[in-house]
Amino acid sequence: MIRIASTGALALVLAVAVPVQASSFAGSSAGAGSASSGASSGSTSGHDKVVLQAREDAAGFVASDGRIRGARLEAALRHLREQSAAAREASDLELAQAILAH
């Protein structure tokens, strides 16, 4: 009901005044569900961003053998297929694995 204008990064204190991205206080990039612990939230190209944002969804898809399929993965699959002929040939699972290994 009340939504405090802060989250994640600065919110190690609960209620800091900035609506910062929901990156974890540990400094992992929230955008990525990142495997690299030190990844700071920096600039990413549109392509990378769509793929990075889909990483957790891709993990869920691979782990559930395709049962769990979120919108971020769907968006990334469409994006990849709009961009590349190779992606149009590939199966959803192959693309999800590639996103996961990105």
Q: What part of residues 3-42 is at the interface with another protein (CB under 8 A)? A: 3-28, 30-31, 33-37, 40-42
CB of 46 to another protein, least distance (A): 7
Residue 8 in contact with residue 21, Cβ under 8 Å?
A: yes
Q: What angle do CA 17, 12, 56 make, to 5 degrees?
A: 105
Residue 53 token pair: 């944002």
Give the number of residues in contact with another protein, rule: CB under 8 A. Answer: 75
Q: Is 65 in the site for another protein (CB under 8 A)?
A: yes
Q: What part of residues 81-100 is at the interface with another protein (CB under 8 A)? A: 86-87, 90, 94-95, 97-100
By C-alpha distance, which of 37, 41, 76 is closest to 56? 76
- Report residue 54 CA to chain centroid gap: 4
